[in-house]
Structure 1
């Protein structure tokens, strides 16, 4: 499933996400991708909805994290990205202070530990 399709389905309320329902706050995966990914194929490692900013952060196997605006009506182009990471990001978590919109943390783990 492409990142753009995932973003569209998340924005319209479909249930989509990683296979860990307890950590994704109600977002559940129903699709099994299997083990047949081709070598050198770009795929999504994880994604997370960023509260208050109406964005999602998507971790790719290309060692980058892209940020997409959920309020975009026409297309979900990458607004900005973190690139040049040492390892492929495989998990992310987001925290924000509901009392102070300027306080938030996006953390990620990669294959290097």
Structure 2
């Protein structure tokens, strides 16, 4: 998880382009695809899936969500070896239990 200021924005779509660029900035071979939006404790979260090959020539998948709560933007990411799709299901399941602390 990474967090930063939401710069006064309340809609994650306003941060989407810069967020996506940051997710793949260090890997020009990464492929990024928009996914379905979800809700994390009442807040809309944007989704992307990333496919890349790491330095050990292992194909890796990542799923990232961008959500804004209060004055912070949160990027929540899980990484897994390509093909371990049950990890994605568990990650999404875990996010259904997420609660923001006041």
Shorter-chain TM band: 0.3 to 0.5
Structure possessing the higher relative contact order (Cα contacts under 8 Å, 6 or more residues apart): 2
What TM-score, normalized by structure 1, do the two folds share? 0.30
What TM-score, normalized by structure 2, do the two folds share? 0.32
